[in-house]
Structure 1
Amino acid sequence: MSDTLVVLALLLVAVAATGAALTRDPARQAVVLALLGLSLTVLFTVLQAPDVALSQLGVGTAVTPLLILLAVRKVRRFGRREPDRDEEE
């Protein structure tokens, strides 16, 4: 039973990692990265590493995708901004 859970968790991680690598849009990639972090959390829990699983849950599932989404939002907003008229003269 335990080996089956490990294999299933590894397959889940492999699918999520492939999805993260194949996604082109940075905003969608952040969401897929959060799913990858969640699947890694499941894998670490199955492998009986609860401290690593909790760290992965906090950092890999919540903080990193949030920072990526904030950076993408800032870059997209900065790219749409029109230049000031003072800079043109």
Structure 2
Amino acid sequence: MTDALIVIALLLVAASATAAVAVRDPARQALVLAVLGLSLAVLFTVLQAPDVGLSQLAVGAALTPLLILLSVRKVRRRGQRKGGDG
């Protein structure tokens, strides 16, 4: 039973990592990165490392995608402002 859970978690991580690489739009990429962080947290929990899973959940699934989304938003605002002035 646990071997099946590990395989499922590994497949979920592989699929979400592939999707994160395949997506071109940075905003969507940040959302897929959040899914990857969540799937890694599940994998760590299945592998009996809940402390690492909680850290991954906080940093990989919440904080990093949020910072990326805020950065993309700021860069896009600057691009619109410079494009409108010139």
**Same fold, TM exceeding 0.5?**
yes
Instruction: Give 1 or 2: higher helix fraction.
Output: 2
Residue matched to 2:39 = 39
Q: Which whole-Å CA distance do the structure 2 matches of 1:82 and 1:4 have between them?
A: 53
Residue matched to 1:63 = 63
Residue matched to 1:54 = 54
Deviation for aligned residue 1:82: 3.8
Q: SS where residue 52 of structure 1 aligns? A: helix
Unaligned regions of 5+ residues in structure 1, if any? none
Q: Which whole-Å CA distance do the structure 1 matches of 2:80 and 2:63 have between them?
A: 26
Residue matched to 1:27 = 27
Q: Which whole-Å CA distance do the structure 2 matches of 1:27 and 1:8 have between them?
A: 27
Bigger Rg, which one: 1
What is the alpha-carbon root mean square deviation over aligned residues?
A: 1.5
Q: SS where residue 48 of structure 1 aligns? A: coil
Deviation for aligned residue 1:5: 0.3
Instruction: Give the partner amino acid of 2:79.
Output: G
Deviation for aligned residue 1:63: 0.2
Residue matched to 1:13 = 13
With the length of structure 2 as denominator, give the TM-score of the two structures.
0.95
Stretches of 4+ aligned residues off by more than 4 angstroms = none
Q: Which whole-Å CA distance do the structure 2 matches of 1:8 and 1:79 have between them?
A: 42
Instruction: Give the partner amino acid of 1:53.
Output: G
Instruction: Give the partner amino acid of 1:60.
Output: G
